[in-house]
A = this chain, B = another copy of it.
Amino acid sequence: MKDAKSAKHAARATAAVLAPALADLIDLSLACKQAHWNLEGPFFSPLHALFDAMTDEYRAWYDEVAERLLALGVPADGRSSTVAAKSRVEEMPSGRLPGPKAVEAMTERVESLAKRLRGDLDRLGDLDPVSQDMVIGILAGVEKQAWMLRVQNA
């Protein structure tokens, strides 16, 4: 009985960590597309492809997080209103985006996400090793993206 209760408690506490990450990841998938579309300048071609590949990664990651929430017995909320309200990702600038500015904008947002995910690891380790392992996997990918963006404006 007690076990079930504490399992439920841990699930809810885990969900409280994952839900904002879900909003962030969905928001970053849209931010990537925003950069993918409005790019300008001589680096258009490879950056257009890079932002598309990054979008695919965000889509895979947010699906994984949302389905982990459900596995924990908690509904996922990925509606645009929730994303707009809860995402901690800074809003992308509107309109045309010269390459270096697009890279800079995405670098900042990706590095911020990496910091937030890294900050969640210990708490997740206490609550649910499966969610922790999933977030470590996502963080590895996010930090790889951050490197690839960061060195472009180095």
A79-113 with Cβ < 8 A to chain B: 79-85, 87, 91-92, 94-96, 98-100, 103
**Smallest distance from the beta carbon of A106 to chain B beta carbons, Å?**
12
Output the nearest chain B residue to A153 by Cβ-Cβ distance: B42
> Chain A at the B interface: mostly helix, strand, loop or mixed?
helix
Is A77 a contact of B130 with CB atoms below 8 Å?
Answer: no
**A39 contacts B by Cβ under 8 Å:** yes
**A interface residues, how many (CB within 8 angstroms):** 68
A127 within 8 A of B: no
Q: Please state if B34 and A154 are interface contacts (CB–CB under 8 Å).
A: no
A38 contacts B83, C-beta separation under 8 Å: no
Query: Chain A: residues with CB nearer than 8 A to chain B?
Result: 26-27, 30-31, 33-34, 37-50, 59, 63, 66-71, 73, 75-85, 87, 91-92, 94-96, 98-100, 103, 121, 129-130, 133-134, 136-137, 139-140, 143-144, 146-148, 151-154
